[in-house]
């Protein structure tokens, strides 16, 4: 066999192996549980930790028929986005393929679908984190932060201008709060109130 | 030959003088420190009308302080600082007319120990201001007389740890009293 042909075959084998061990996320992932078990477990799954930072969010989990679990994420009653896990039984029902979808909502105050589309790194992080939540739930293992570190780092870099803006706003808000606390102390003193 | 050299030197001398004059003409004249482009009357009016709120906010510690300006028109303004009815410090701006439109301002702080009050080396159980205070007073006076905002970046950080702790308390609503 010529060295060139050997090289081509080697590369093809590596590609096939990589395709096998890293299946296309769009095809979903297969878990060794029945579809009923998957539906039941996922209905109890919470949002991934840390990813949504300080935003207080409400999550509603809904089963849509036997084949979909939907997490609807809201803030102040306004839907921001939703995850949908589409479940398909495989291997004669012994395993379940889970395809996860993330869709932004067109909320009352903002178009979150557009926000997600405009910030693909953030979107990827939300997606990867929820995929890990699904995997850890169905494989009955703890949530593994190391599996989302890369997506988080990438999102953090993409989000640096917003982080800086947010930090500036937080600093300004903090300074304003301190100033108003001191002003209140002077007002209390003027009216004779102590401490 | 000697005469020629002398003439050349003379020409060079004039050229240097001319260049120096042009150079100096191009420069904006720097004001000496503490001198402001306002008449003494205007300087007095502005300083006497000001209770130094920005400086107080920037430098105050944990006790509530009230600043009262008292003055001798055309000569000086003294700011008396009270807390819980007790005078805790005072400082004075002494004005001297340099010209019709220029006034020199000298800040005087009361002496304390081998230095002056709030010079950075004093200890106060209930400090009114972070130390050193003089740069903050100078900056506040400059801001008033230059018609600009007080800029905390011009005064450097405070060094009084007691003050910093009290200030943190005040910012969270814990007011100290000078007679606590």
pLDDT one-digit tens code per residue, A65-116: 889 999 999 988 889 999 999 999 999 999 999 999 999 998 888 888 998 8
Residue B128: its chain A contacts at CB < 8 A? none
Q: How far is A114 from A96, CA to CA, in rounded Å?
A: 32
Burial of B122 (0-12, 13-18, 19+ CB in 10 A): middle
Residues in B touching A178 (Cβ below 8 Å): 171
SS3 per-residue string spanning B70-124: EEECCCEEEEEEEECCEEEEEEEEEEEEEECCEEEEEEECCEECCEECCCCCCCC
For chain A, give every domain's residue range: 20-144, 159-195
Interchain contact, B175 vs A189, CB within 8 Å: yes
Higher per-residue confidence, B116 vs A58? B116
Instruction: Evaluate if residue B2 carries a pLDDT over 60.
Output: no
Closest-CA distance, A119 to chain B, in angstroms, reads 37
Higher pLDDT, A160 or A194: A160
Predicted TM-score of the model (pTM)? 0.53
- The H helix count followed by the E strand count for chain B is 5, 7
Tell whether B85 is within 8 A of chain A (Cβ): no
Counted residue by residue, chain A has a size of 195
Phi, psi of A154 (to 5 degrees): -65, -40
Q: Name residue B36's beta-bridge partners.
A: B103
Q: Hey, are the CB atoms on B173 and A185 less than 8 Å from each other?
A: yes
Confidence band, pLDDT 50/70/90 cuts, at residue A195: very low
Nearest-CA distance B177 → chain A (Å): 10
Q: What is the pLDDT of residues B60-106, one digit of tens each?
A: 999 999 999 999 999 999 999 999 999 999 999 999 999 999 999 99
Q: Are B40 and B103 in contact (CB under 8 A)?
A: yes
Q: Which positions in chain A touch B172 (Cβ < 8 Å)?
A: 181
Q: Are B64 and A178 inside 8 Å of each other by CB? A: no
User: pLDDT exceeding 70 applies to what percent of chain A?
Assistant: 83
In CATH terms, the fold of domain B35-171 is Alpha-D-Glucose-1,6-Bisphosphate; Chain A, domain 4 (3.30.530)
B57 and A195 within 8 Å at the Cβ level: the answer is: no
Which one is predicted more confidently, B144 or A93?
Answer: B144
CB contacts < 8 Å between A and B, how many?
Answer: 22
pLDDT class of A169 with cuts at 50, 70, 90: confident
Half-sphere exposure of A185 (CA within 13 A, CB side): 27
Please tell me the predicted confidence (pLDDT) of residue A115: 85
Identify the CATH class of A20-144: alpha beta
- Cα separation, A133 vs A125, whole angstroms: 12
Mutate which of B63, B66, B175 to test chain A, going by most A C-beta atoms within 10 A?
B175
Q: What pLDDT does B64 receive?
A: 96
- Checking if the pLDDT of B26 tops 80, the result is no
Q: How large is the average pLDDT for residues A21-37?
A: 80
Q: What share of chain A is helix, strand, coil (3-state, %, to 5)?
A: 55, 20, 25
Could you tell me if B75 lies within 8 Å of chain A, comparing CB atoms?
Answer: no
Grade residue A38 by pLDDT with cuts at 50, 70 and 90. very high
> Do the interacting molecules here have an ipTM over 0.85?
no
Instruction: Report the 10 Å Cβ neighbour count for A105.
Output: 19
Q: Is the dihedral of CA A95, A101, A107, A112 positive or negative?
A: positive
Task: With beta carbons less than 8 A apart as the criterion, state whether A134 and A100 touch.
Answer: yes
Mean pLDDT, chain A, whole residue set: 84
- Asked if B141 and B94 count as a contact pair (C-beta separation under 8 A), the reply is no
Q: What is the pLDDT of residue A194?
A: 52
φ and ψ at residue B75, rounded to 5 degrees? -130, -55
Q: How many other CB atoms sit within 10 Å of the CB of residue A95? A: 18
């Amino acid at each position: 066999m010529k060295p060139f042909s050997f090289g081509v075959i080697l590369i093809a084998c590596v590609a096939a192996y990589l395709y096998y061990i890293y299946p296309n996320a769009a095809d979903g992932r297969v878990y060794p549980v029945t579809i009923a078990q998957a539906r039941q477990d996922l209905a109890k799954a919470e949002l991934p930790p840390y990813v949504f930072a300080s935003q207080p969010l409400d999550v509603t989990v809904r089963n849509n028929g036997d084949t979909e679990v939907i997490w609807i994420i809201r803030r102040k009653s306004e839907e921001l986005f939703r995850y949908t896990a589409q479940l398909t039984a495989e291997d004669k029902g012994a395993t379940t393929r889970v395809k996860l979808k993330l869709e932004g909502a067109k909320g009352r105050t903002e178009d979150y679908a557009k926000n997600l589309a405009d910030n693909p790194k953030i979107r990827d992080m939300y997606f990867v984190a929820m995929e890990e939540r699904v995997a850890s739930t169905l494989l009955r293992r703890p949530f593994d932060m190391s599996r989302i570190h890369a997506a988080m780092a990438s999102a953090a870099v993409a989000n640096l201008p917003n982080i800086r803006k947010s930090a500036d706003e937080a600093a300004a808000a903090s300074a304003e709060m301190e100033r108003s606390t001191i002003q209140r102390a002077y007002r209390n003193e003027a009216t004779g109130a102590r401490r | 030959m000697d005469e020629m050299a002398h003439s050349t030197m003379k020409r060079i001398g004039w050229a240097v003088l001319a260049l120096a004059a042009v150079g100096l003409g191009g420069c904006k004249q720097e004001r000496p420190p503490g001198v402001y482009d306002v008449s003494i009357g205007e300087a007095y009016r502005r300083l006497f009308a000001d209770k130094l709120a920005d400086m107080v906010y920037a430098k105050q510690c944990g006790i509530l302080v009230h600043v009262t300006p008292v003055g001798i028109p055309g000569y000086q303004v003294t700011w008396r600082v009270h807390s819980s009815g007790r005078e805790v410090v005072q400082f004075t701006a002494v004005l001297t007319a340099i010209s019709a439109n220029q006034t020199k301002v000298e800040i005087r702080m009361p002496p304390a120990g081998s230095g002056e009050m709030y010079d950075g080396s004093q200890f106060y159980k209930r400090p009114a201001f972070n130390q050193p205070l003089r740069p903050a007073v100078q900056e506040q006076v400059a801001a008033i007389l230059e018609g600009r905002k007080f800029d905390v970046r011009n005064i450097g950080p405070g060094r009084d740890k007691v003050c910093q702790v009290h200030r943190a308390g005040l910012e969270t609503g814990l007011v100290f009293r000078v007679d606590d």
